[in-house]
Structure 1
Amino acid sequence: MLLRTKVLTGAAVVALVATATGCGAADMTKQSSPYANAAGAKTVTLSVQSWVGARANAAVAQYLLEHELGYRVDTVQVDEVPAWDALSQGRVDAILEDWGHPEQEKRYVKQKKTVTDGGGIGVTGHIGWWVPKYFADAHPDVLDWKNLNKYAAQLRGPESGGKGQLLDGSPSYVTNDKALVKNLNLDYQVVFAGSEAAQITQIQQYAKQKKPFLTYWYEPQWLFNEVPMVEVKLPEHTEACAEKGAEDPSTVDCAYPTTPLKKFLNTEFTKKGGKAARFLKNFTWSKADQNEVAQMIAEDRLSADEAAKRWVEKHPDVWKAWLK
């Protein structure tokens, strides 16, 4: 039932961002990428979501498609739900990291058959609430949600209005956090950092000062390498909770699901995309691989292309199997 919590709302503007190919801005709801399904051209258009793990996938795929297979690759940033529409219509050829959109999968994969399941990327996604390990070590009972109110005073923030602070990322991300706080009767306020990058910066600052914090977070994510965090156990995720929440998100009172992350390809692209389509179907790597590239992009400030290049040079044993 649950969309990936980073899903942007359907009302959000669908944007095409400038990329290394030199494309200018365009509205993907109104026009196709200039490279999507270009007749006779060796081109591929990848949809890239805003979080750094998705950017890491696309960076490595783009680098290998260009340097090993001789394709020109265009990347576009499209919000998650509209990306399915663009994929179905051939405006993009592939989504490399989907966190679960059952309605879109039913419509486009099973019913219209305009989108094809491209298989898993080898990484399992999980969303939850986390506290820093140094705080959990000192207060192990904080790892049970039933004890969170006990620590609300210690977890206050300047914007939490005297309540405990639950730090979230962008307000445009769809999460269950406000519903969970309300339905579990927690003395907490959801506070938005503004973006993934801003949330990372805030977590790093708290960790540097050894301050306690409670945050919505997810894995895979490279930040765990720098700031060890431990998950707070929420009420068990159940199908009943999922079904109820699908009808009314405000009723959610259970943990987020664990989701094997998958790829999806435009069906015509799978038929006519040749080596590129086979390559993307074969693309699968580990959480450690993704985090390695993501950290180079986000923390080391390397360009996506340079981060991909370094990973490719270091791990030929992984990616050469994708070219078969």
Structure 2
Amino acid sequence: MSAPPAAGRARPAPRRKRRLRSALVRATAVALAVALVSSCAVRTTSVLRDPGTVRIALNGWVGYEASAAVLQTLLEDELGYQVQLVRVDEQPSWQAMDQGEVDMVVENWGHEDLMELYGPEGNGTVVDGGSTGNDGTLGWYVPRYLVEDYPGIDTVEGVKEHAGIFATPETGGETGQFLAGDPAFVTQDQGMINHFGLDLEVVYAGSEAAQITEVRQRYAAEEPVLFYFYEPQWLFEELDLVHVEFPEYTDGCDADLDDVACDYPAYDLNKIFRTGFAEEGGPAYELLKNWQWSNADQNAVAKMIADQGMDPQDAAAAWVEANPDAWRPWLPASVDR
């Protein structure tokens, strides 16, 4: 969630567009089924599916979408698979793997509780797929100009002292606003507000895109804004943002989400596979297992999608065209590189 855009490439052929639309129709149907999935853990050792199709969960932030689009492009164009992108939130993605509806979560931010439930020490329906290569940072951010106007506001003490400058009509004009993004994201912000006694109210923008729009508007007007955000994230190339300092994360400091005494942990972001998919192996699994890229790589594709308005598949194709040395090592050994 944080490289200049890669050079363009011709739009994919109509046949591929039709195939993508068809896959998305099926993915929508699967997503509807996922919405009804029980939270109960049920071991699914045998899943009837087309071995030529890979089903990838699509979570709700553009960095994730960038990674998924590049993987889809390579699986389809280089290995001949069909890919279904199943739009589903973070935690239901794991339930979908457990129920055999999804083969992979591309970008996992921690979720030790879900790994305990569904992983090898739980019911065994998912496995760790290794690092994506991305370093993940979550936390609170303010613009640089605000730190210059209010020295120390990039610390918890400074936020407490100056909380009133973040007040908006939505918070009654006195309580400061803490701008969150998608309410489906798993966060600890209210617990941090509670623990440190901050006069702040969490207000959800509704989505990553809506949050970015609001932050950009306030930034352009040099207005106060305090918000939850993350890296990798393409917007850091455009705006000068400062991470607010809280006490460093230690094991257990976030055990009670209503009373969190620390900042978010740092993450080595990883992939999660449905166990059956990993055990089957094959070229698709090998490519996905081999895949690793940098924050700058993800940001380049995400910026094309979110800032330049490119179709995700066109953005992915542009990156693939411009970076063969980056992705060819991901291909299975059996494929001519």
TM-score by length of 1: 0.87
Which amino acid in the other structure matches residue 324 of structure 2? Answer: P
SS of 2:25's equivalent? coil
**1:9 aligns to what?**
none
Q: 1:320 to 1:44 in 2, by over 3 A?
A: same
SS of 1:265's equivalent? strand
Which amino acid in the other structure matches residue 326 of structure 2? Answer: V
**1:266 aligns to what?**
274
**1:33-67: CA deviations, max 9, x gaps?**
xxx8534x411110110111111110000000000
Alignment partner for residue 80 of structure 2, among 53, 70, 74? 70
Q: Tell me, yes or no, if structure 1 residue 203 matches structure 2 residue 211.
A: no
Aligned-residue offset at 1:212 = 2.1
Alignment root-mean-square deviation, CA: 1.9
SS of 2:116's equivalent? helix
Q: Tell me, yes or no, if structure 1 residue 28 matches structure 2 residue 24.
A: no
SS of 1:141's equivalent? coil
**1:309 aligns to what?**
317
Aligned-residue offset at 1:194 = 1.6
| Sequence identity percentage | 42
Q: Tell me, yes or no, if structure 1 residue 130 matches structure 2 residue 135.
A: no
**1:169 aligns to what?**
181
Q: 1:19 to 1:197 in 2, by over 3 A?
A: farther
Q: Tell me, yes or no, if structure 1 residue 232 matches structure 2 residue 237.
A: no
**1:145 aligns to what?**
156
Measured in 2, the distance between the counterparts of 1:320 and 1:199 equals: 35
Measured in 2, the distance between the counterparts of 1:73 and 1:309 equals: 15
Contact 1:19 1:75 in 2 (8 A): no
Aligned-residue offset at 1:22 = 4.2
SS of 1:143's equivalent? coil
Q: 1:319 to 1:271 in 2, by over 3 A?
A: same
Q: Tell me, yes or no, if structure 1 residue 293 matches structure 2 residue 279.
A: no
Q: 5+ unaligned residues in a row in structure 2: which ranges?
A: 2-19, 38-46, 333-337
**1:322 aligns to what?**
330
Q: 1:181 to 1:19 in 2, by over 3 A?
A: farther
**1:232-282: CA deviations, max 9, x gaps?**
10122111313xx2xx32121211111111101112212324100000001
Alignment partner for residue 100 of structure 1, among 110, 115, 123? 110
Contact 1:37 1:43 in 2 (8 A): no
Aligned-residue offset at 1:171 = 3.0
TM-score by length of 2: 0.84
SS of 2:202's equivalent? strand
Contact 1:241 1:253 in 2 (8 A): yes
* Superposition map of 1:55-94 within 5 A: 55-94=65-104
Which amino acid in the other structure matches residue 218 of structure 1? Answer: Y
Which amino acid in the other structure matches residue 33 of structure 2? Answer: M
Alignment partner for residue 53 of structure 2, among 40, 43, 47? 43
Aligned-residue offset at 1:20 = 5.7
Q: 1:165 to 1:66 in 2, by over 3 A?
A: same
SS of 1:167's equivalent? strand
**1:191-226: CA deviations, max 9, x gaps?**
221211110000010111111211111111111111
The more displaced of 298-307 and 172-181 is 172-181
Contact 2:24 2:85 in 1 (8 A): no
Q: Number of paired residues? A: 299
Aligned-residue offset at 1:80 = 1.6
Measured in 2, the distance between the counterparts of 1:37 and 1:121 equals: 28
**1:147-191: CA deviations, max 9, x gaps?**
213222322222122122211112333322122112211122222
Measured in 2, the distance between the counterparts of 1:19 and 1:287 equals: 29
